[in-house]
Amino acid sequence: MPGLTVDVYVDGTLTLDDFEPGTFSDTLTLDAGTYSVAVTAADATDDSHPVIGPIDLTLEEGDNYTVAAHLTEAGDPTATLFTNNLDKAGKGNGRLTVRHIAAAPSVDVLANDAAAVTDLTNPDEEELTLPVGTISAVVAATGTTDPLIGPTDVEIAKRTNTIVYAWGSLNADNLAFAVQTVGLTGGGHHHHDDHHNDHHK
């Protein structure tokens, strides 16, 4: 299993302690500005020896972000700042956002056996507006339908951006989905998640 529990420092202050892979932190509300973020091993005493960073992240007023700690396609630790779309999706619809943060080549995402997203590469994302309901989601290598992840039921809900992350490592055979939901409000909050699996048990 992806085995690296981490600490997250923001501007030198321990902000998230013993953060588990595949989980999402509580929402952090931060003022607009630029923050230095460093990810360390969970037993570190400070941020002087980060496993990721330090990287500068610039947050705009009123926006909603997720910071993902993850692997590059080549398997190196990194972090990506995503902006979560809070625009309304229209009557009877919800939003699905798919983010590729796995150590894996380009993928297609199938919804109910039809390709909904094609040729998605790390660390890109794709947004879809879909009718409210439950879809069966599969991640497959681009041009194939053989599941690398899934099938997994994903709920598309009204007034919600359902964000599905494909994370983990193809070589380590621990690719997985993680799902985050953000309300479509037009307001702004900040989420962080830990999808890092550089070390294995």
Span 109-120, pLDDT tens digits: 999 999 999 999
- Does residue 201 sit within a domain? no
Confirm whether 1 is domain-assigned: no
Place of tokens 């439950």: 134
* Residue 36 maps to a domain: yes
Q: How confident is the model at residue 25 (pLDDT cuts 50, 70, 90)?
A: confident
Residue type at 71 in one-letter notation:
L
What is the DSSP secondary structure assignment for residue 134, as one 8-state letter? E
Q: What is the DSSP-derived secondary structure letter of residue 51? A: S
pTM tops 0.75: yes
195, pLDDT greater than 70:
no
191, pLDDT greater than 60: no
- Looking at the domain assignment, is residue 160 inside a domain? yes
Average pLDDT over residues 119-132: 97
What's residue 188's pLDDT? 47
Q: Is the pLDDT of residue 187 over 90?
A: no
Strands 93-103 and 160-169, sheet pairing: parallel
Task: Quote the pLDDT of residue 55.
Answer: 93
Domain span including residue 184: 6-194
Altogether, the residues listed in the chain come to a count of: 201
The residue behind tokens 């003022």 is: 31
**169 has pLDDT over 70:** yes
Residue 176 placed within a domain:
yes
**Separation CA 140–CA 49 (nearest Å):** 36
The contacts of residue 146 (CB under 8 Å, 6+ apart) are 140
Number of independent structural domains in the chain = 1
152-161, 164-173, 179-188, range with the lowest pLDDT: 179-188
Q: What is the mean pLDDT of the chain?
A: 90
In a domain, 68, yes or no: yes
Over 80: is that where the pLDDT of 197 sits?
no
